[in-house]
Homo-oligomer: A and B are copies of this chain.
Amino acid sequence: MPKVSETDLSERRTDILRSARTCFVTHGYDGATVSRLEKETGKSRGAIFHHFRNKETLFREVAHRDMVRMTDLAGSRGMIGLIRHLLEDPELAEWWGLRVEITRRIRHDDQLREVWEQDQNALRAAVTERLEEQRQSGRLRTDISTATTLQLLELVLEGVMAHLVSDRESGLLPEALDIVEQSLRSTENRD
């Protein structure tokens, strides 16, 4: 049997994670049975669980991968930038479905809770860093704390995700985000 390269292995893992994500989003954690996971990934259970120890591990990796992508985006574009990106990325927009499962499962899965808290802290750290920079450069108002600003941005992120999952019109979301953005600017930087 030919040796499988590291790159191939990593690609296979990514393929499985991507399809498993769809399966978890569509059916929920409990509904994502092994046979559904096989069908969605096009891989046998043997192949899937060669890469991931079990379903819990697979789910944790799926959740972690999304959070890493969000943190990368927040680091480069800021939280409002991340949110605007969500409006255009149907895949990330589905994230709410996972978020719901995570919220349920962290009550019973301590390892998931740990990963989830670390990932949330990483996202917060990335956003906080950008906020601090923008405060120092005078773009953002400083009469409210960075922590409060972060709290507001987190609310808006969660609100947008919940909104996107409901198949509702999102036509006014960009304008609503403009108001939030404007409300955080320093006086001299407001329109």
Contacts and interface: CB of A to CB of B under 8 A. Distances in A.
Interface stretch (A3-11, A67-75, A97-105): A97-105
A145 B156 CA distance: 19
Contacts of A182: 183
A149 B180 CA distance: 11
A163 B152 contact: no
A175 B148 contact: yes
A137 interface: no
B179 A183 contact: yes
A104 B161 CA distance: 15
A184 B179 CA distance: 8
Given A104-B28, A182-B183, A172 B151 contact: yes
A149 B175 CA distance: 9
A1 interface: no
A152 B176 contact: yes
Contacts of A145: 172, 175
Interface in A69-105: 99-100, 103-104
Given A103-B165, A155-B163, A180-B180, 4 more contacts: A147-B172, A154-B163, A156-B156, A158-B159
Interface of A: 28, 30, 99-100, 103-104, 144-145, 147-149, 151-152, 154-163, 165-166, 172-173, 175-176, 179-180, 182-184
12 contacts: A30-B30, A99-B162, A100-B100, A144-B179, A145-B175, A148-B172, A148-B179, A152-B179, A154-B163, A155-B156, A159-B162, A179-B184
